[in-house]
Amino acid sequence: MINLHWKMFVVLFTFIAFIACEEDSPRVTPELEVSVTELSFSNEGQQKAFKITSNVDWILECTESWCTVTPLSGSSGVEPVKVTAEANSTTDQRTAQLIITAGDLTETITISQDKNNLLVLEENEFTLTREAQELTIAFTRSDEVEITINNSWISLKELKSEIQDSKVFVIDANLAFLTRKGTITFTMGDIVETATIYQNGDDITIPADQTGVESTAIELAAKMIAGWNVGNSLEVPGGETNWNNPKVTKDVIDAVKAAGFNAVRIPCAWDGYIIDRETFEIDPAWLIRVKEVVDYCIDNDMYAIINTHWDGGWLENNPTYDKQEEVNEQLYAIWQQVGIYFRIYDEHLLFAGTNEVHVENVYTKPTNENIEVQQSFNQTFVNAVRSTGGKNAYRNLIVQTYNTNIGWGVELHNMPTDEVDGRLFVEVHYYDPYDFTLNNGDGLKTLWGEGYDNSYWGQEDYVQSTFASMKEEFYDKGIPIILGEYGAMYRSNLTGNELILHNESRNYFLKTVTGEAKASGMVPFIWDNGGDDFGLFNRYTAEQVNSGAIQAIIEGATN
């Protein structure tokens, strides 16, 4: 009994002593410290880190799902925590809180993320009827937007301030027959969006009419005997008389007809006569003037060709990708207007799309880029004329090889597609050999041909083989050829027997080239610039100034 009581006493004493010891131990006071109170994230999304310092266990909670935290809990000590924010695809700045709890302590870190910089038009391109109207353009933005209207026929009616905006614009009626193009630019910081507006003009297409344009290109070529160029006149930038020729008169055209020519090539400028750069509208007075010269020819029962000549080089010198769209837009507008203005004319009027298209001051073999772009000009020309309907649906059209070069034409030229069969010519020029035809410096030649001087390249056999290659490549496949320019300088500085021999040799050259051209399916058009070197007719008096050359050309064409 005594032993049992003793044991119970010992146990009770031990328990009381333990409790006493517990009450004497000091209690741990929680501590919590975070290294940041704010975290800012860009809208692209990114990861950042901070540190939690605590002497007790802690837990962490994020109030938004777009940010994730690792780890979500920890123990006493110093521990790094990583916070990852997803990309913000909204147009709102967003915030979240990280709540860290350790014992009875709480710390909060505020997280912010930039809004997404957004500017999106619901539509970027609009095609409108010609009537006056209102146009609503809706877009989403994340900030203030600056609106720039780039055309006088468009104005802003109202503005709204919501993130999802609808801007209302007033569009004036289009009183012209050409489709016009306008743009509105929306700018927000470094973000730019553009709305492009096409507004139709008056009806430009009339029903196709084959009356008076029944001949195919092959048939029409057979009707043209010999052609003459009224050069350095209507193609002169800034004015018809700016290159020392008088205005073309009916008397001159009558004299050309009387000499035996029945076709006239009228090189034309258009760019310098554009009065509206937005629509490329041509001055009506200039169209009237070109028509006057065309009518001089038509009234004489002659065939006439109008083209787009050098024209300041805006087209001719730019067969490059960076200029392709810009040039084609203007070229289409020009030929649509010219086509509409002349579409009542019968087959005596032909259109030639371009002239000697080549990279400026570069006369080496064209690159694939040069060929592709130059031939796109040909296609644009055909499309524009055909789009106007009437007799233009069947009119014979003339397209050019690169730089109107024969060799590159045979090797590289592809004809454009056309909606009507057999109504296309191809055009080349011929000024070989250069030393005899054009060179006015070192190495020039004053004589050419058998019996005169055949010691250098480009003689009769060269003419024959060169023209034969064109015949095989084009005429024999149903595509007749316009020899749009050819000739040789008259060396008026020579005297005595040298001048006599030169004149004879030059006439022989003209007769030979003309005859070989005709034999190869070409319609030859001699170049006449009205000057001492290439002139055949006095532009003031209409008199022949070189009857021997004229006779040689007509003999070559008719024999």
pLDDT in tens, the chain (559 residues): 445 555 555 445 554 544 544 445 467 899 888 988 998 888 888 898 988 998 888 899 999 998 999 999 988 888 998 999 988 877 778 899 999 998 888 989 999 888 777 888 999 999 999 899 999 999 988 888 999 999 989 999 865 544 457 899 999 988 777 778 899 999 998 899 999 998 887 767 889 999 999 999 999 999 999 999 999 999 999 899 999 999 999 999 999 999 999 999 999 999 999 998 988 999 999 999 999 999 999 999 999 999 999 999 999 999 999 999 999 999 999 999 999 999 999 999 999 999 999 999 999 999 999 999 999 999 999 999 999 999 999 999 999 999 999 999 999 999 999 999 999 999 999 999 999 999 999 999 999 999 999 999 999 999 999 999 999 999 999 999 999 999 999 999 999 999 999 999 999 999 999 999 999 999 999 999 999 999 999 999 999 999 999 999 999 999 8
- Please give the pLDDT value at position 1: 47
For the chain, the structural domain boundaries read 32-113, 119-199, 217-558
- Please give the pLDDT value at position 492: 94
- Phi first, then psi: what are they for 97, rounded to 5°? -125, 140
Q: Which residues of 153-187 are buried (b: 16+ CB within 10 A; e: fewer)?
A: bbeeeeeeeeeebebebebeebeebbbbbbebebe
Dihedral of CA atoms 293, 294, 298, 302 in degrees, nearest 10, equals: 90
Please tell me the CATH code under which domain 119-199 is placed: 2.60.40.10
Residue among 67, 66, 97 nearest 82 (CA): 67
Residue 472 among the catalytic residues: no
Q: Which residues of 5-22 are buried (b: 16+ CB within 10 A; e: fewer)?
A: eeeeeeeeeeeeeeeeee
- Please give the pLDDT value at position 18: 47
DSSP string, 480-531: -EEEEEE-----TT--HHHHHHHHHHHHHHHHHHHHHHHHTTEEEEE---SS
Q: Is the dihedral of CA 411, 413, 415, 416 positive or negative?
A: positive
Q: Name 459's Cβ contacts closer than 8 Å, sequence gap at least 6.
A: 433, 448, 449, 450
**Residue 351: count of CB within 10 angstroms of its CB:** 24
**Residue 121: count of CB within 10 angstroms of its CB:** 17
How far CA 191 is from CA of 87, 121, 186, in Å, comes to 19, 12, 8
Q: Are 229 and 265 in contact (CB under 8 A)?
A: yes
Residue 460 among the catalytic residues: no
**Residue 104: count of CB within 10 angstroms of its CB:** 9
- Please give the pLDDT value at position 88: 84
Please state, in angstroms and rounded to a whole number, the distance separating the CA atoms of residues 180 and 281: 10
- Please give the pLDDT value at position 388: 94
Candidate list 235, 281, 316, 356, residue with the active-site label: 356
For the chain, the farthest-separated pair of C-alpha atoms sits apart, in whole angstroms, at: 169
Q: Are 510 and 488 in contact (CB under 8 A)?
A: yes
- Across the strands, what pairs with 481? 426, 522
- Across the strands, what pairs with 227? 263, 525
CATH architecture of 32-113: Sandwich (2.60)
- Please give the pLDDT value at position 2: 46
Please state, in angstroms and rounded to a whole number, the distance separating the CA atoms of residues 249 and 296: 8
Please state, in angstroms and rounded to a whole number, the distance separating the CA atoms of residues 83 and 98: 10
On the question of a common fold for 32-113 and 217-558, the answer reads no
Q: 367 — alpha (psi -120 to 50), left (phi > 0) or beta?
A: beta
- Please give the pLDDT value at position 12: 52
**Which element (helix H / strand E) includes 18?**
helix 2-24
197, two tokens: 């507006």
DSSP string, 148-161: EE-STTEEEEE---
Q: Are 403 and 358 in contact (CB under 8 A)?
A: yes
Q: Are 38 and 112 in contact (CB under 8 A)?
A: yes
| Topology classification of domain 217-558 | TIM Barrel (3.20.20)
Please state, in angstroms and rounded to a whole number, the distance separating the CA atoms of residues 106 and 101: 5
Q: Are 85 and 67 in contact (CB under 8 A)?
A: yes
Please state, in angstroms and rounded to a whole number, the distance separating the CA atoms of residues 20 and 93: 59
16, two tokens: 């009381």
Candidate list 485, 498, 504, 516, residue with the active-site label: 485
Please state, in angstroms and rounded to a whole number, the distance separating the CA atoms of residues 518 and 523: 6
Q: Name 60's Cβ contacts closer than 8 Å, sequence gap at least 6.
A: 52, 69, 71, 72, 73, 74, 81, 98, 99, 100, 101
